[in-house]
């Protein structure tokens, strides 16, 4: 789960790290008001879950509240496109912060390193907008330290990684508290990525976290009550957000064949099978085990929220989930929903016979195997145009 810059910065602030003063606005008027309160030159930053906002035009400096208004007006609602994110994202909020006079830009990051099975701390003197390029062309400019979970981040570890990145003892004195704070925040939030880029040194010699990026482990949200509130906000797709509210695992895939199945593995197979039959899956939707009628109805509703869907494929293997339950769910959903696209149903396993009997005499198209089901729905969707 990705956090917005302003959310990550609030966490860093809570952990005592130096962060510029600022607030979030969703309108140009709001941005202007914040700039007036701050009473100095501000920077207006698009709050979108993507890197490279600077290059995409999502970061603007403003000397006066009126300029802040104009900058926010230009950023809000505009699609920002960067090399890291070619399809782009629309900013619905901007962070308005006091601008800082940046002298140097460092990179500091922590993430999970699966090879060493440690959290790895990374540091570079070449921070700023081109860190990906630095990583690709000058990997030696980034020093890495695998952190022993029992020892934690030690003073000698900090010296080792900073010297490795070419810092002097002066740099160690300046950055050690930042590294310690970031590491504490990372652990306390169950993050799997925390980055400060740039970690800026100002003209007057202060260090400040000019940008912050964090992603959290969703599996730990049960013990991160305060951060769980950010979860829904982190989901960009409205159908995915609705699925989250309804407790269903839905992923939008962009095609036109809606897919519902039980069990993540089976649904992934079905997605592949539809693609192999020449179709483009609209979504992944796992209704899980023991799916009852109302759950199936919820699932159909979700899939049909996508206006591109031209056909719907059910692939159910009855184990815990009984075939007749699913059949009843499908019929109930159709009775209340007026689904206009063709629906192919493949039922196998526990109570599949009973399920098929319930579906007989309805417009639903039965299929014996997953392959046959995929072929049929792709054909029907193509016919439907
Ligand atoms: P990103 O491009 O999405 O990573 O956004 P950043 O927040 O890192 O901003 C990109 C660049 O904008 C930074 O590397 C800085 O050079 C510049 N920048 C960001 N905030 C400020 C600021 O307050 N003052 C100045 N002068 N430059 C800033
Ligand atoms: Mn950045």
Residue 50 Cα: closest atom of ligand 1 = 3
**Residue 270 reports pLDDT greater than 80:** yes
Dihedral pair phi/psi, residue 30, rounded to 5°: -60, -40
Q: Whose CA is nearest to atom 10 of ligand 1?
A: 54
Ligand number with the minimum distance to the CA of 82 = 1
Ligand number with the minimum distance to the CA of 196 = 2
Residue 99 Cα: closest atom of ligand 1 = 23
Compute CA 338 distance to the chain's CA centroid, rounded to the nearest angstrom. 33
Residue 210 Cα: closest atom of ligand 1 = 20
Q: Check residue 255 and report its DSSP letter.
A: S
Count helices and strands (H / E) in the chain: 13, 18
Lowest mean pLDDT: which of 56-65, 189-198, 241-250, 253-262? 241-250
Condensed to tens digits (0 to 9), the pLDDT of residues 314-346 reads: 999 888 778 888 888 888 888 888 888 999 999
CATH number assigned to the domain covering 21-98: 3.30.1490.20
Its pTM stands at 0.78
Ligand number with the minimum distance to the CA of 105 = 1
The label of the residue with tokens 């966490």 reads 11
**Residue 175 reports pLDDT greater than 90:** yes
Cβ contact 315:373 at 8 Å:
yes
Pocket of ligand 1 (CB under 6 A): 43, 45, 51-54, 59, 99-100, 102, 105, 128-129, 197-198, 210-211
Alpha carbons 249 and 272: distance in angstroms, whole number: 17
Q: Whose CA is nearest to atom 25 of ligand 1?
A: 100
98 is catalytic: no
Superfamily of domain 238-384: Succinyl-CoA synthetase domains (3.40.50.261)
69 is catalytic: no
Alpha carbons 17 and 13: distance in angstroms, whole number: 5
Nearest CA-CA partner of 36 in 63, 71, 60:
63
Residue 197 Cα: closest atom of ligand 1 = 8
Q: How much is the average pLDDT of 170-187?
A: 98
Catalytic residue among 67, 97, 105, 195: 195
- Percentage of the chain lying above the pLDDT 70 cut: 99
Cβ contact 373:274 at 8 Å:
no
**DSSP string over 50-114:** -S-TTTTT-EEEESSHHHHHHHHHHHTTPEEEETTEEEEEE-S-EEEEE---EEEEEEEEEEEET
Domain 102-232 has CATH 2.160.10.10: no
Nearest CA-CA partner of 246 in 232, 229, 260, 236:
232
Confidence at residue 290, expressed as pLDDT on a 0 to 100 scale: 64
Condensed to tens digits (0 to 9), the pLDDT of residues 213-264 reads: 999 998 898 999 889 888 867 777 889 989 988 889 999 999 999 999 988 9
| Ligand 2 midpoint to CA 109 (Å) | 11
How confident is residue 288, by pLDDT bands cut at 50, 70 and 90? confident
Domain residue spans in the chain?
Answer: 21-98, 102-232, 238-384
How confident is residue 295, by pLDDT bands cut at 50, 70 and 90? confident
**DSSP string over 182-237:** HHHHHHHTTEEEEEEEEEEEETTS-EEE--EEEEE-GGGGGG-HHHHHHHHHH--S
Of 49 and 384, the structure prediction assigns the larger pLDDT to 49
Q: Check residue 4 and report its DSSP letter.
A: P
| Ligand 1 midpoint to CA 209 (Å) | 10
Alpha carbons 80 and 87: distance in angstroms, whole number: 9
Catalytic residue among 6, 106, 107, 186: 107
Compute CA 234 distance to the chain's CA centroid, rounded to the nearest angstrom. 6
Condensed to tens digits (0 to 9), the pLDDT of residues 93-103 reads: 999 999 999 99
**Residue 291 reports pLDDT greater than 70:** no
Q: Whose CA is nearest to atom 16 of ligand 1?
A: 128
């Amino acid at each position: 789960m990705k956090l917005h810059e302003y959310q990550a910065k609030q966490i860093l602030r809570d952990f005592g790290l130096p962060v510029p003063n600022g607030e979030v606005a969703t309108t140009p008027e709001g941005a202007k008001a914040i700039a007036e309160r701050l009473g100095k030159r501000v920077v207006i930053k698009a709050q979108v879950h993507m890197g490279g906002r600077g290059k995409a035009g999502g970061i603007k400096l403003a000397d006066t509240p009126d300029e802040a208004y104009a900058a926010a007006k230009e950023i809000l609602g505009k699609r920002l496109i960067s090399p890291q994110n070619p399809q782009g994202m629309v900013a619905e909020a901007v962070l308005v912060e006091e601008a800082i006079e940046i002298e140097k830009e460092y990179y500091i990051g922590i993430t999970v390193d699966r090879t060493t099975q440690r959290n790895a701390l990374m540091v570079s003197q070449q921070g700023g907008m081109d860190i990906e390029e630095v990583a690709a062309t000058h990997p030696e400019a980034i020093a890495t330290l695998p952190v022993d979970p029992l020892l934690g981040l030690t003073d000698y570890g900090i010296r080792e990684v900073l010297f490795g990145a070419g810092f002097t003892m002066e740099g160690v004195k300046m950055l050690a508290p930042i590294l310690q704070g970031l590491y504490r925040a990372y652990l306390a939030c169950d993050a799997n990525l925390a980055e400060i880029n740039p970690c800026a040194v100002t003209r007057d010699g202060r260090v400040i976290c000019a940008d912050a990026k964090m992603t959290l482990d969703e599996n730990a949200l049960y013990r991160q009550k305060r951060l769980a509130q950010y979860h829904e906000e982190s989901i960009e797709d409205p159908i995915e957000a609705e699925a989250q509210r309804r407790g269903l695992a839905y992923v939008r895939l962009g095609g036109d064949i809606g897919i519902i199945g039980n069990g993540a593995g089976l649904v992934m197979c079905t997605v592949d099978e539809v693609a192999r039959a020449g179709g483009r899956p609209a979504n992944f939707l796992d209704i899980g085990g023991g799916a009852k009628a109302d759950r199936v109805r919820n699932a159909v509703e979700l899939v049909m929220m996508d206006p591109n869907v031209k056909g719907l494929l059910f692939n159910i293997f009855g184990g815990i989930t009984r075939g007749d339950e699913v059949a009843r769910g499908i019929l109930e959903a159709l009775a209340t929903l007026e689904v206009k696209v063709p629906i192919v149903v493949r039922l196998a396993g526990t109570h599949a016979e009973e399920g098929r009997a319930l579906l007989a005499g309805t417009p639903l198209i039965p299929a014996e195997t997953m392959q046959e089901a995929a072929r049929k729905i792709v054909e029907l969707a193509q016919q439907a145009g």
